[in-house]
Structure 1
Amino acid sequence: MFSGSIPALATPFRDETFDEDAYRRFIEWQIESGSSGLVPCGTTGESATLDNDEHHRVIAVCAEVAAGRVPVIAGAGSNDTQTALWHAKEAQIAGADALLLVAPYYNRPSQEGLLAHFSYLAERTELPIMLYNVPGRTVTDILPETVVELHRRFPEKILSIKDASGDLSRVVTQRMGAGPDFCQISGDDPLALAGYALGQKGCVSVTANVAPKLCADFHKAAGEGDFATARELNERLYPLHKAMFADASPAPAKYALSKLHDWFAPDVRLPIAPCSDAAKKVVDKAMELAGL
């Protein structure tokens, strides 16, 4: 379930509302292009600015359109444990295959608090769990010893981690502690190639929103150990990886998608601002280099 190119799907908006028709077309395009899984309501999906009804509807539409062809790993995290549990249960009802649970943000819980939070959710939910560590956004850092302990406590429930800490040494530490069956996924497109050498199995990707086939081909090559092809594709994609953060994400990704598809608007929600002219130039150049 957790491998290969897994886009953290951007959520299309039009006239300040969720554009369900565009989302359905977007998911079909992703599956047709070879994406191996889908993450609705992640960071790139602007989950922080979706209201609860929208959050659950986005997951439901994703699961309906995917229809079992690829796994749907639904963003269900929160800085409130009870809200995370509610999102998790709604995701299961909607047809999601797994949960992506981010570290609680703003509260700054201790490692003991993180153990209690994720244990509480694992005990009360049925779907497999992918932890999500992104300390640059949450401030809270799920340390490797906490990851290993959570997998030890729930070996058939807490099966994976999306790591966006930027610290590749953790892949080795967590592999040695949790074993090779614990599935480690990159949360940083530019580090995905190195991650494969250390034991990661794929990436929950921003760039795959814009270049799903290229990303799928890259991950296929890397996963099969064809590093010559993987390096070639990585260098073609690398400027695009960087361009996706030329402005506050997901504004650059949405701008790029609006260039590729007339049915995908570049609209973002405040406090994210539209892609700046300077960032647009960076994205344009990166798309040209990638052959998009």
Structure 2
Amino acid sequence: MTAVTKAVFPVAGLGTRFLPATKAMPKELLPIIDKPIVQFAVEEAIAAGITELIFVTGRNKRAVGDHFDANLELESQLLAKGKTELRDLVRNIVPEGVSCIFVRQPEPLGLGHAVLCAAPAVGNNPFAVLLADDLMHGTDLPTSALVAAFKDAQHTILSVSEVPEIDVTKYGILKHGAQDASGLITVQGLVEKPAVEEAPSRMASFGRYIFTPEVFDLLRALKPGSGAEIQLADAIDQLAAQGKVSAIMNPSRRYDCGDKFGYLNAIVDLALANSDYRDWFSALLRDRVAKLERNE
């Protein structure tokens, strides 16, 4: 039995939906209060037992590496000012025993290509893929659930949720079979962003996966698909046709932080869930809603 200790974070995207904010700052560093979006995904991976973080970056993404690297000057200044808690917060973004590797995606050729760029760092090991745009919040998070499911399945596992019919055109949609007693759902195929009338179900695959290294051979052989890009969904579809893909239901609340409204939703809900901000922030929201109702 092979354990999952590596995770790939594709962070090379341009973030055009958040321009001009992302002209100079990677979208993955957009904050939810005081924590960048990508850090939520990293913390989720570490909580699942991942010890090697592989970031697939592109141009103008050096700041992502800087965020997870040590900043001795900042730590020294904080310590000199007696701000020990802040120093520890900065120092422990990546805890001891967890390493970071950064590889470059030379061209924006799609998510499948980004994952393929991580192949030399992954080697002949199973690995998780986490898309930072999908922020997961809750007591139980999908990467831990995927790692647990992989221990028995030892093949590709997807995290999935049911979506409204109108939204099936936005996601990879499963053609699936039954769910067994352990919670595993048989995946017979995956269709990337189908038309509503052609969608095989309303079960959508989101930004959490575990793969075995055989996916790299499929990605190398793939021709460009939807959007003229190398689609990860196409490789998953081929694996599913071989009976090598299962899915589990996402146990958490998902926020699409690649979308402005989803990003705002995440900020509001996480602020309301934070004991430091909950009371005054909820009072602020009630005040603003009351003013809107009075047309002030």
With normalisation by structure 2, the TM-score equals 0.30
Larger Rg: 2
Q: Relative CO higher for 1 or 2, CA cutoff 8 Å, sep ≥ 6?
A: 2
Q: Which has the higher strand share?
A: 2
